[in-house]
Amino acid sequence: MRLTLLDLRRAATERKIAMLTCYDASFAAVLDRAGIDTLLIGDSLGMVVQGHDSTLPVTVEDVAYHTRAVARGSQRAFIVADMPFGSYQVGPQQAFENAVRLLQAGAQMVKLEGGDEMAPTIAFMVERGIPVCAHVGLTPQHVNRFGGYRIQGRGQASARIRAAARSVVQAGAEMLVIEAVPETLARAIAAESKALTIGIGASVACSGQVLVLHDMLGVATDKRPRFVKNFLAEAGSVEAAARAYLEQVQSGAFPGAEHVYPDSN
């Protein structure tokens, strides 16, 4: 029986939530057997599946296609689908219509990036029955504005990201991905957030953790970010690697100090 958002909330009172990206039925079945709580059909598929140098070329139909595959391949995991670049920024009605396509493909929640500017869109969707996961910190769809994939939230930017997190949660986001920010900032956001917080290069204090599947398996070809750990190297199989990831997330062993960012260089 597939997990619900209520199940995740209950679980988070006792243990950490483990999320991995997933893009096809075969891996979905393996990760399901391993006990991974949440499968994210990330727009990272543009890089690790399609071979682009960013997530920007990914379309709604791309995400819907992979969501259908993951939904068919899994039976238990909660399914979250990314809203790709350009699919929600025009306004709430556009976002709602594209979110409906992803829910109809099998997602139980959609994820979008941004802070205060996205609060009205999040509220609009939540009021109409769309569960939303927000995403603050390093938001990959803003790569051209950031000038690359860089840590966010140091110095004066810390207050801005903390305010952005408050804004999207107040608007109704029930899950919040926090990516590549200083550990102390992520810890502060997690402490005050009513939403489930999912860290990636953030803090072990978050409600759970997420990694890109290919990074977790050590098969990504690009330079690996600080927050990545290869779980396949010692596990011997994909399922064993996923179980090791699950166990280390649940126990708080991952992320370690070497996987999070200090307040200064």
Q: Which residues are catalytic?
A: 179
Q: Using CA atoms, how far apart are residues 82 and 107, in angstroms rounded to an integer?
A: 9
Q: Which residues contact 89 (CB under 8 A, 6 or more apart)?
A: 114
| Alpha-carbon Rg for the chain in angstroms | 17
Q: 148: alpha, beta or left, given left = phi > 0 and alpha = psi -120 to 50?
A: left
Q: Which residues contact 249 (CB under 8 A, 6 or more apart)?
A: 16, 17, 18, 208, 209
- Alpha-carbon gap, residue 51 to 67, rounded angstroms: 19
**CB of 114 closer than 8 Å to CB of 134:** yes
Q: What is the DSSP letter of 261?
A: B
Distance set, CA 251 to CA 22, 190, 204, 208 (Å): 23, 17, 10, 11
Do 95 and 88 touch, CB atoms closer than 8 A?
yes
Please check whether residue 109 is in contact with residue 5, taking contact to mean a CB–CB distance below 8 angstroms.
Answer: yes
Tokens at 48, concatenated = 């690790």
